[in-house]
A = this chain, B = another copy of it.
Amino acid sequence: MQESGEDYIETIYLLKKRKGLVRSVDVAQELHFSRPSVSRAIGILRDSGLVLMNSDGGLELTEKGMLLAESLYEKHTTLTRFLRAVTRVDSSIAEKDACRIEHIISPSTFEGVKQFLREHPELHEHLTDPAEYHSGDRQRTHR
């Protein structure tokens, strides 16, 4: 499983949460990728047993895909909170960094991060809600 695959899985999970029906074209818009790029990626994820596409083009995560997505989502939100708590950077920046780190952090380091947040609630309990996913992309006009 490559990082790019994880991004696709996470995006499907996120859009599902946000709007319900998720098609390839929605993923393409969210990630600023072309439809063919998404089409191929979905094919690979389907072959890996992570995603299903039903007759109307709607994408569904399999149980395996859902487990992966939930784990990625937890990493994403936790790391965003952690970075904001520790570094006081803007939500959008913390979000962007978390989005990269979530793919490479080791399990034990991530456990340590969670433990740290539990032990230091004073560092983050007053923070406002994190930025929405990919909000930094909104102004972009092309890619």
CB distance from A94 to the nearest CB of B (A): 7
Chief secondary structure at chain A's binding surface: helix
Q: How large is the interface on A (under 10, 10 to 19, 20 to 34, 35 or more residues)?
A: 20 to 34
A87: B residues at CB distance < 8 A: 108-109, 111-113, 115-116
- Check: A89 CB closer than 8 A to any chain B CB: yes
* Residues B86 and A86 in contact, CB atoms below 8 Å apart: yes
Which residues on B sit within 8 Å (CB–CB) of A106? Answer: 89, 93, 96-97
Residue in B83, B105, B113, B116 whose beta carbon sits within 8 Å of that of A109 in the complex: B83
- Contact code string A62-96 (vs B, CB < 8 Å = 1, else 0): 00000000000000000000010011111001101
Cβ of A44 under 8 Å from chain B:
no
**Chain B hits for A89, CB < 8 A:** 106, 108-109, 112
Would you list the 5 A-B pairs with minimal beta carbon distance, nearest first?
A: A87-B112, A100-B104, A97-B109, A89-B108, A86-B116
Give me the interface of A with B, judged by CB distance under 8 Å. 83, 86-90, 93-94, 96-97, 100-101, 104-106, 108-109, 111-113, 115-116
